[in-house]
């Protein structure tokens, strides 16, 4: 739990501290199996009702105590709290991981740091596992204490754990959100805890082996894993799970490690860990919406997390678990369901009828900036998706003719392709090529016009199909007078796209168009500050916004950030007469800083990377200047 909090405060201190959740999954699998091992129930109904009533008493009261007041608070500070409220609503029914997966497919998902309920995905994993697990225990015979029950459960869990682990490793390469958020791909961690308990209980050889393993060494190794860079997530996750299993197995009385983990203060942190997990993220997210996170505020925030966790544990968790009314399993299930429905009704009212009406800015007569109400892809107040030719979900072949099959303009057609950062520059291209028709087909989900060796991570949106079919469509359709413009994100995927592999792919595509005398214009990506624009508004409840770190970057950093891509693209364009590289990001900077507004005072950002259409149009003079300087219009006609 401590590792998770440290990582969420500052990821660079403990890069893999988020693995505390994976460690908890193993412990949870071990504890839940041990709690059911000695149960003596007459039938499946009795077995299930007691299991689920205990889960409700354990999880629901503290969750509601956290969700409802936090939902009200986020509505005070966030002018568009829909994503947070939907996450909270789905978390009440153990489905927030599924909801977060759905919005993760969309490249424009709200920043995780600002979603006060984003961390509830792990509860969704657990609750979905809890729905399945008692059936496995019962029908394997383990829950019925059948002679071969332990062996049956062992083989079932070994099979499921192996399939789950393989799924996690394979899926992480092509669809990281699914590998991260879906329960089947996390079952192996919970299953590891279950397997460990069954092995320790029914296999003396495992106990004998574990007795010779120094727990201090294992603990040191586990701590070391938390410092592994985030660039090795699969390796770090597997190492954390394995070391956690070994540590549980070899932890025994009389050792230094045992003395530490059984110390009363450590035990107390363990007891409040559920409430602490709930509140720590809520405190962090709400602080980002208000005072921010600074060196001086860290002790205050940590103290607040623990105070709220202790209150929740002592006055909500413990009393509800011990309450006399909840001794009846049927009543417990009924009361739990009613409480969940009541809490979800409150969140629904906050989301729909109120819909931002209790935002403090309204009461203080401070208007919400338009760029934070409506972007070029979605109306944040209604949730309506506004785009037709920027692909939100999977690419389909029909989009080619629907979006790129347009009537040519007087001087030809401009085809814009790439990802959302290409779509960013659409107003620039339209205004720059005013005598040509401009059409586009751009992708979300991280996909761009990539070489096939780089599309595997984005196959959830059929990225390779987009690349192959768009390539063939353009090679067949374009003619003299047309222009192809390509854009892409370089920030999130900069390491893979600021490489010869990517630039050579663009160069090869341009070469295939030389016979048709069709030029290819390659754009750079935007270089935004690290904080989203919502956190940089000057508001009474955000006294340290505006000029605080993260709301701007030095223009020298913006130059250096994509210097490698600049060099590669310039070299490629110098080798081909029909390839032009037009970097535009520095047009967003003035007076040595790249911040929240342009020199003319226009708001630049919709989020952490997408610019407003007004700003895109303001970049047109720079776009034309760079094209003219490279002789584009002399060779390929008027604007």
Report domain extents, the chain: 2-362, 387-631
| DSSP, res 615 | H
Evaluated on CA atoms 66, 70, 72, 75, the torsion sign reads negative
H or E element, residue 581:
strand 579-582
In sequence order, what E strands does 410-482 have? 413-419, 437-443
User: Both ends of the chain: CA-CA distance in Å?
Assistant: 59
Q: Identify the segments of the chain with pLDDT beneath 70.
A: 1, 41-42, 105-111, 324-327, 407-410, 493-495, 545-547, 638-639
Global pTM value:
0.83
**For residue 288, which of 84, 120, 95, 92 has the smallest C-alpha distance?**
84
Say how far apart CA 269 and CA 348 lie, in whole Å: 33
Say how far apart CA 83 and CA 75 lie, in whole Å: 11
User: Any idea how long the chain is?
Assistant: 639
Predicted confidence at residue 409, as pLDDT, reads 63
Predicted confidence at residue 550, as pLDDT, reads 83
Dmax over Cα atoms in the chain, in whole Å? 88
Q: Do 20 and 27 touch, CB atoms closer than 8 A?
A: no
Say how far apart CA 234 and CA 239 lie, in whole Å: 9
Predicted confidence at residue 367, as pLDDT, reads 84
Say how far apart CA 555 and CA 524 lie, in whole Å: 15
Tokens of 121: 């995905």
DSSP string over 229-263? -TT-HHHHHHHHHHHHHHHHHH--TTSHHHHHHTS
* Other CB atoms within 10 A of residue 78 CB: 24
Class of domain 387-631: alpha beta
| Phi, psi angles (nearest 5°) of residue 399 | -65, -25
CB-based contacts of 157-164 (< 8 A; 24+ apart in sequence): 157/191, 157/194, 157/195, 157/198, 158/195, 160/136, 160/187, 160/188, 160/191, 161/187, 161/188, 161/191, 161/192, 161/195, 162/188, 164/188, 164/191
Say how far apart CA 263 and CA 249 lie, in whole Å: 19
Predicted confidence at residue 204, as pLDDT, reads 75
Say how far apart CA 153 and CA 139 lie, in whole Å: 9
Number of H helices, E strands in the chain: 30, 10
| DSSP, res 210 | H
Rg of the Cα atoms in the chain? 28
Q: Do 568 and 583 touch, CB atoms closer than 8 A?
A: no
Beta partners for 418?
442, 487
């Amino acid at each position: 739990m401590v590792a998770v909090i440290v990582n969420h405060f500052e990821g660079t201190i403990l890069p893999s501290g988020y693995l505390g959740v994976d460690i908890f999954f193993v412990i949870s699998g071990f504890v839940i199996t041990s709690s059911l091992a000695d149960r003596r129930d007459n039938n499946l109904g009795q077995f299930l009702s007691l299991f689920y009533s205990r889960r409700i008493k354990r999880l629901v009261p503290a969750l509601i105590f956290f969700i409802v007041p936090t939902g009200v608070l986020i509505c005070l500070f966030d002018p568009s709290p829909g994503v947070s409220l939907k996450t909270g609503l789905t978390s009440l029914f153990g489905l927030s991981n599924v909801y977060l997966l759905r919005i993760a497919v969309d490249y424009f998902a709200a920043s995780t740091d600002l979603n006060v309920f984003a961390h509830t995905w792990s509860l969704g994993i657990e609750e979905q596992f809890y729905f399945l697990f008692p059936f496995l225990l019962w029908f394997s015979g383990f829950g019925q204490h059948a002679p071969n029950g332990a062996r049956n459960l062992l083989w079932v869990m070994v099979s499921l754990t192996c399939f789950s682990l393989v799924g996690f490793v394979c899926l992480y390469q092509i669809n990281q959100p699914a590998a991260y958020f879906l329960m089947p791909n996390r079952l192996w961690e919970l299953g590891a805890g279950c397997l460990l308990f069954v092995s320790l209980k029914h296999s003396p050889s495992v106990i004998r082996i574990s007795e010779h393993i120094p727990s201090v060494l294992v603990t040191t190794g586990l701590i070391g894993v938390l410092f592994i860079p985030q660039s090795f997530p699969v390796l770090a996750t597997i190492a954390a799970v394995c070391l956690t299993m070994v540590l549980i197995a070899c932890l025994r009385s009389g050792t230094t490690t045992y003395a530490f983990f059984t110390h009363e203060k450590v035990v107390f942190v363990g007891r409040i860990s559920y409430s602490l997990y709930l509140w720590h993220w809520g405190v962090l997210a709400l602080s980002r919406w208000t005072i921010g996170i600074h060196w001086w505020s860290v002790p205050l925030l940590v103290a607040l997390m623990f105070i709220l966790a202790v209150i929740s544990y002592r006055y909500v968790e413990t009393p509800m678990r011990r309450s006399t009314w909840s001794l009846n399993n049927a009543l417990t299930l009924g009361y739990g369901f009613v409480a969940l429905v009541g809490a979800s009704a409150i969140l629904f009212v906050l989301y729909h009828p109120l819909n931002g009406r209790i935002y403090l800015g309204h009461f203080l007569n401070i208007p919400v900036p338009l760029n934070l109400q409506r972007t070029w892809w979605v109306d944040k107040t209604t949730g309506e998706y506004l785009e037709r030719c920027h692909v939100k979900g999977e690419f389909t072949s029909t989009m080619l003719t629907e979006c790129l099959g347009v009537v040519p303009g007087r001087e030809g057609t401009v085809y814009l392709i790439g990802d959302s950062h290409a779509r960013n520059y659409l107003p620039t291209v339209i205004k720059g090529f005013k005598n040509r028709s401009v059409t586009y087909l751009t992708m979300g989900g991280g996909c761009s016009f990539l070489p096939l060796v780089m599309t595997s991570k984005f196959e959830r949106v059929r990225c390779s199909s987009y690349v192959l079919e768009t390539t063939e469509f353009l090679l067949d359709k374009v003619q003299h007078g047309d222009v192809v413009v390509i854009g892409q994100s370089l920030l999130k995927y900069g390491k893979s796209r600021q490489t010869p592999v990517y630039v050579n792919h663009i160069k090869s595509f341009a070469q295939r168009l030389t016979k048709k005398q069709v030029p290819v214009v390659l754009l750079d990506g935007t270089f935004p500050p690290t904080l989203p624009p919502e956190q940089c508004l000057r508001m009474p409840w955000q006294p340290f916004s505006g000029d605080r770190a993260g709301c701007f970057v030095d223009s020298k950093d913006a130059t250096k950030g994509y210097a490698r891509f600049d060099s590669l693209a310039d070299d490629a364009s110098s080798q081909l007469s029909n390839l032009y590289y037009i970097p535009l990001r520095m047009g967003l900077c003035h007076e040595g800083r790249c911040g929240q507004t342009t020199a003319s005072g226009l708001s630049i950002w919709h989020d952490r990377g997408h610019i407003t259409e007004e700003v895109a149009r303001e970049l047109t003079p720079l776009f034309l200047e760079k094209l003219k300087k490279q002789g584009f219009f002399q060779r390929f006609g008027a604007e």
